[in-house]
Structure 1
Amino acid sequence: MFLQNSKNLTSMNFSGCESLASVPDLSSVPNLESLNLNGCKSLVEVHQSVGYLDKLKFLLLKRCSNLRIFPNKLKTKSLQTFSLSGCSKLEEFPDILGKMEHLENLQLQGTAIRELPTSIENLVSVKWMKLGNCKNLARLPSSIYKLPNLECLWLGGCSNLVTFPKNLEDSTDPDGHLGFPNLEILGLDGCNLSEVDFLESSSSFPKLHTLELPKNKFTHLPTSIKKYLALDWLDVGECQHLQEIPQLPSTMHVLRADGCKSLQKLPDLSSLSSDFLEVDLSSCGELFRKGVKMADVSLLEGLPKKSSLKMFLTGGEIPECFLHSKGGSMRFWVPKDLYDKFLGLALCFAPDPEVGAAFEIQLFVNGEKVTVETCVFGKPHGFEDRYHFAPLESDHVWLQYFPRGRLRRIENLLRDEWSQFQVCVRNKGGSVKKCGFRLICEKQEDDRRVVLQHHHPIETNWIPEETDPDEGHSIDTMDECSSTEADAEESRSTLTKKRRLS
C-alpha cells in the first residue's frame, strides 16, 4: 500500500476489496478520520497502529470473514462508529485505553469474541451495543453496568452466555446512578440463561421498556419485575422450564409466553392498565391442565378493553359458551342492542392434528373485511392472522381474542337492527374440524344472543351446530369465505321482518 505524502489524508475506502489481505502501519496517516474495510473477505490482519489513530471517527470492518488479528489496544478518542459485525473468526476484543466520549454505536454481531474486557466501561458515550449471535461469548464483565448512556444492549443468540452479571454496586447506589440509567432495550433471547437474578435489581434498569428473554432455561422471574415501571414489552416465549410469571407492572403492552410448556401460573392480567395489551399464551399446555380451562372465559372478560389474547390449547373441544360450527366457516347475525355493548370477539378452531398446515383467520362484517390494529407498530393490517401448525400428537384448539378497540372500520360497517358477522378459517394443505365464535360483552349481558345463518334466534342454553353439509369440508378459496353486501342486505331484511312479526 503506497502511503507517502499521506499526512493530510482523511479518508480511506477499501470496501469490497477482496484482494486486500492486511492493513499496514498507518501511523504516517495521523489525520485519518474514516477507514472503511467493509466486505474485505480476504483481510486477515489490521496493524496495531490503527488502534492509536487519534482523529479516527469511523472504523468499519463489517463482513471481514477472515479477519483474525486486530489491534489489542484501542486509543482512538475521536471514534464515533465502530463495527466488526460479521468478522466470524475474530476472537479477541481490544482493551479500551482511556475514555471514549464520542463512540455511540458498537457493532460486534456474529464475531467469535469470547469475552469483553473490563475496560469496556471506558465507552462512556456508547448508546447501542450489539453482540447478537456471538456464539463464543461466555461472559460479560460487571463493569458493563458503568455505561451511563447505553440505550440498547442486544445479545440475542449468544448461546454460550449462560449467566448475565449482577450489578455488584447496586446496594450502595439507592438513587440508581449506577447500573443502566438509560437502558431501554435488553435482548437476551437464546442465551441459555439458567437464572435471571440480575433482574432483582430493578433500580439498575429504571428506563427499561423492552425485555427479550425467549429460549432460555430459567424457571422463574423475580417478583421485583413489577417494579420495572417503564416495562411495556416482555417476551419469554419458548422458555420451556419457566413455571410462573409473577405480577407485572401496569404499564405492560405485550406479554409473549408462547411455547412455555411448564408454565403453571399467570399474573392477574386485569390489573394491567395499558390501553393496548397483547398476550400470547399459545402452546402452554401445562398452564391449562393446571386450572385455566377453555370453558372459563373470565380470563377474557378480565382483560383491559383493548387487549388481545392468543392460546394454543390441548384438547379438541370448542368451549360450550361459544357458537359452534362444523368445518371452518360460520355466519351469524347480531342485534344492535347487543353489539352496542360488546367488548371484543373471541374465536377458536380445531385443526386436524394429523396434518400440518398453514391457516388464515378472516372476519367479515356485512360483507366487508375488517382490519385489526396492532399495538406493536401501530399500523392497520388485514384481519388475516396466519398460523402454521406442524402435525400434532393430539387434538388442539387455537383460541384468539380481538378487542373491539383494535377492530378498525367496524363502527362504520355495523347497521341498524341487525349486522351479519362471518368468520372463516382458510387453510393450505390441512383441514378444520370445527370452529367457534363468541362476542365478549359487558358483564351480565347475553353475548350469545345471535342468529346463525338460516337458523332461528339461539336461546342462551342451546347452541346448535351448523347443519350445512358443505361446512364439513376444508376451505381453500376466497369465494367460500366471503359474502357480498347484497347477500347481507337481503338476509338482514328477512331478519328484520321476522323480528317485527315475533
Structure 2
Amino acid sequence: MRFEDATKENKKIEAVKYDDFEDIYTKSNYDASQLCKIVSNIKKLRYLEVHIRDPTNVDVDVEVEGPAFLSNELRYFSWRPYPARSLFPDGFQPLKLVVLKLNGRFLKEVWKGCKHLPHLKVLQLRHMWKLLRTPNFDGLPCLQQLTLNGCFKLKEIHPSLGNHASLQYVSVSRCKRLRMFPTITHMKNLKNLSIEECPNILEFPKIHANMERLVELAIILTGIEVLPSSIGEHCTNLISLKLRRLTRIIEIMSRITETLSNLQELDLSWNDFSRLGFSLSQLTQLKVLDMSCCGKLLELPELPSSLTTLTADDCNSLTTFGDCHKNCRWLCDVSLVGGSNINDGDRLLESMLEACMAIENHYMLLQLQGIQMAKGFTPQLVRGNRCRLQLPENWCNEFSGFLMCGVMSHFFITIDVRLSKNEEMNGMDSQHDVCNWEDTRYTVMEYGSWMAYVSFGMLRQTAWWDQTCKALTFEAREIGGPCGGLGVRLIEKKRKSGLTETSTIYSSAGHTPYLKIEHDSPSTIKIQRHKNRMNFL
C-alpha cells in the first residue's frame, strides 16, 4: 500500500510495511520525519515494520520527532533505524505488543522505570549506539527472546533478567563496554544463551538455579577465563557448547567434561593449544566437533565413537590424522582444509568407506589440503569439472555406490554434483585430458582434494534411478572457485565388517546429513553439500 493512501484510509488500515532497501538504486520516497507523521495518523494499526536508508552521514546526529500517536492495538513494532530520542508517545499503552525490534543511534534507554508489557515475547535491540542500560524486565512476564547486539555503550543489563522465568533465548554480542551478565537465579526455561564479542565480561554469570532446559551455550571472544563448576551442576542437558578464543580452554574443559554426558555439538575453534589435554571419549553422544583455526594444534584427540562430523580447517601445524578415529563408527563428514598437508589421508579414506558399507543409504565426504589423494585416485582425474563413467552390466547389484574425487580451490565453500544419463562428452574423457600433476597450478598450497561417496541406497527412491543406464556424466561445481579436476569410480559391495548397526539406529542418533538431493528428474539428479549446523531448538 502506498503511504499516501494510508493517510486517506487510516480508519481501515491495520498493517504497514515499508522497506526502503527493496530497490537500492531508487531514491528514498520518504524521510524519517514523514514516516513518523504518517504512522501517527493510522488509528487501528496492529503491525508496523519500517526499514529505511539513512541519507545522512553516520557521524552526524540528525534526529526527528517520533510518532505523536501509536494505536493501542499494536502487536508488532519494528523500525530500523529508529530516528527519535523517545520511543513511545504519551498515551500509548502497549498492552497488546508482542514483538519489539529496534535499531537506532539516539535512544539512551528504551523506556524509564518498569513498564508493563504483559504480552511482549520478542525484544531485539540492535546497533543502539547510545543505549546505556536495558529496561527493567520485571514488567515483561512473557518475554521469550532477548537480543542485544552492537550496543557499544551498554554498561548494564538490568539484574531482573536473571530472575526471568519465561525467557528461552538470550543473545548478547558486540557490547564492548558491558562488564557483567546478571546472576542467574531463576531462568528455568532458558534454552539458548550466547555471549559473544564482549571482551570486558571477565566472569561467567553466577548460576544459582537449575537450568536443565539449557541446550545451547556459546562463550566466544570474551574476557572469561574460567567456567565455574556450577555449569556441570545446573546445566546437565547441554547439547551444543561453543567455547572460542578462551585463554584457559584446556583447564576449563577438563573441569566440566564429566558432566556433559548429553553434549552433541562441541566448538573449540580459534583456541591457542597444541594438544587438547583431555579426553573426549566420555562424550558418548557427541556428533559434531569443530577445532578450526587452532594454529598450534599438533594432533587431534581421540574421538568418541558417536562422532559423525569433524572440522579442523586452517590448523597450520596439523600434519597427521593419526589413530584418533579408530573407534568412530559413524564418521562421514571430515574437513581439514586451509592448513598443512595431511600425510595419512588415504588411511582415513579407507576407514570412512568401510564404515559406509555398513549402512545402505549412507554417504561420505572428506576434504584435505593438498592434492595427494587426487594424485593417487584411479582412474586418473580428468581436467576441468566434467567426466564420464561407462557402467558395466548389472552395475546396480554388484556395486554399492559412486566415489568421486575432485581438486578444489582453497576458498572452497560447498559442492554441487550433477549426474546426467547418456550425455555426450565430445572426447572430454580421452587420455589427453587427464590431469598433469606436474603442472604448477596443482602444486601450490591453495589447492585441496575432496572425496565424496554416494551410496545407491541414497538414490534408489529417486525419479532419476535407472538400472538399465549404460553411462553417466558427472559434473562438479564449487561455489567460490573452479574445480581443477574430477574423477569417479564404482565401489564394490563389501561385507559389513562387524558393523551391525542399522540405518534406523544411525538416523536416530541425531545426525543431520550435509549431503542432500536438491534436484531430481528422470534425466538429471543434483546433489549438494550443505554446511549447515544442527538445530536443537
TM-score by length of 2: 0.60
Partner Cα distance (1:428, 1:84) in 2: 32
Shift of 1:15: 4.6
Shift of 1:234: 1.6
SS of equivalent to 1:120: coil
Partner Cα distance (1:151, 1:125) in 2: 10
Q: Does 1:68 align with 2:125?
A: no
SS of equivalent to 2:102: coil
Q: Does 1:237 align with 2:292?
A: yes
**Quick check: 264-273 or 180-189, which moved more?**
264-273
Asked if the contact 1:77/1:101 (under 8 Å) is kept, the reply is no
Shift of 1:352: 8.7
SS of equivalent to 2:125: coil
CA 35–23 in structure 1, closer or farther in 2 if over 3 Å, else same: farther
1:499 alignment partner in structure 2? none
Task: Choose the corresponding residue for 1:159, options 221, 238, 249.
Answer: 221
Asked if the contact 2:212/2:237 (under 8 Å) is kept, the reply is yes
Post-superposition CA distance 1:18-40 (Å, at most 9, x none): 343246999x9898986846235
Q: Does 1:415 align with 2:467?
A: yes
Partner Cα distance (1:56, 1:426) in 2: 49
Q: Does 1:404 align with 2:466?
A: no
Q: Does 1:198 align with 2:252?
A: yes
Shift of 1:323: 0.3
1:122 alignment partner in structure 2? 186
Shift of 1:254: 1.7
Partner Cα distance (2:382, 2:405) in 1: 12
* Aligned amino acid, residue 303 of structure 1: A
Asked if the contact 2:423/2:472 (under 8 Å) is kept, the reply is no
Asked if the contact 2:236/2:259 (under 8 Å) is kept, the reply is yes
CA 112–422 in structure 1, closer or farther in 2 if over 3 Å, else same: same
Asked if the contact 2:253/2:278 (under 8 Å) is kept, the reply is no
Partner Cα distance (1:424, 1:435) in 2: 8
2:113 alignment partner in structure 1? 49
Q: Does 1:168 align with 2:229?
A: yes
Matches within 5 A, 1:310-459: 310-315=366-371, 318-328=374-384, 329-336=386-393, 340-350=397-407, 362-364=417-419, 366-367=421-422, 393-394=444-445, 396-404=447-455, 407-409=458-460, 413-416=465-468, 419-425=470-476, 434-442=485-493
Shift of 1:120: 2.5
**Quick check: 330-339 or 256-265, which moved more?**
330-339
Shift of 1:119: 1.3
* Aligned amino acid, residue 329 of structure 2: S
Post-superposition CA distance 1:125-177 (Å, at most 9, x none): 3222233444554442353895332122234xx434463x334358xxxxx6x
CA 25–101 in structure 1, closer or farther in 2 if over 3 Å, else same: farther
2:68 alignment partner in structure 1? none
CA 102–145 in structure 1, closer or farther in 2 if over 3 Å, else same: closer
Partner Cα distance (1:130, 1:298) in 2: 39
| Gap runs ≥5 in structure 2 | 1-64, 66-71, 425-440, 496-522, 525-537
SS of equivalent to 2:356: coil
Asked if the contact 1:218/1:242 (under 8 Å) is kept, the reply is yes
CA 36–400 in structure 1, closer or farther in 2 if over 3 Å, else same: same
Asked if the contact 2:168/2:189 (under 8 Å) is kept, the reply is yes
Partner Cα distance (1:325, 1:35) in 2: 55
Asked if the contact 2:349/2:366 (under 8 Å) is kept, the reply is no
Partner Cα distance (1:396, 1:278) in 2: 19
Shift of 1:43: 0.7
Partner Cα distance (1:221, 1:119) in 2: 30
Partner Cα distance (2:490, 2:178) in 1: 54
Post-superposition CA distance 1:279-302 (Å, at most 9, x none): 22234525x23xx05588534444
2:275 alignment partner in structure 1? 220
* Aligned amino acid, residue 332 of structure 1: L
2:364 alignment partner in structure 1? 308
Asked if the contact 1:107/1:129 (under 8 Å) is kept, the reply is yes
Asked if the contact 2:214/2:235 (under 8 Å) is kept, the reply is yes
SS of equivalent to 2:207: helix
SS of equivalent to 1:116: coil
Aligned residues: 403
SS of equivalent to 2:173: coil
Shift of 1:231: 1.6
Q: Larger relative CO (CA 8 A, sep 6+): 1 or 2?
A: 1
Partner Cα distance (1:58, 1:240) in 2: 42
Post-superposition CA distance 1:109-134 (Å, at most 9, x none): 34335343461343333222233444
Partner Cα distance (1:206, 1:293) in 2: 31
Task: Choose the corresponding residue for 1:112, options 156, 172, 176.
Answer: 176
Cα RMSD (Å) of the superposition? 4.7
Partner Cα distance (1:73, 1:222) in 2: 43
Shift of 1:341: 4.0
CA 186–115 in structure 1, closer or farther in 2 if over 3 Å, else same: farther
Asked if the contact 2:158/2:182 (under 8 Å) is kept, the reply is no
Asked if the contact 2:168/2:191 (under 8 Å) is kept, the reply is yes
2:430 alignment partner in structure 1? none
Shift of 1:225: 1.6
SS of equivalent to 1:147: coil
1:453 alignment partner in structure 2? none
TM-score by length of 1: 0.64
* Aligned amino acid, residue 227 of structure 1: Q
Shift of 1:278: 1.6
Partner Cα distance (2:164, 2:83) in 1: 32
CA 253–333 in structure 1, closer or farther in 2 if over 3 Å, else same: same
Asked if the contact 2:370/2:443 (under 8 Å) is kept, the reply is no
Partner Cα distance (1:432, 1:143) in 2: 51
Q: Does 1:38 align with 2:102?
A: yes
Partner Cα distance (1:152, 1:430) in 2: 34
Partner Cα distance (2:237, 2:183) in 1: 20
2:33 alignment partner in structure 1? none
Partner Cα distance (2:88, 2:349) in 1: 69
Post-superposition CA distance 1:334-365 (Å, at most 9, x none): 32456534344333344699xx9999663535
Q: Does 1:273 align with 2:329?
A: yes
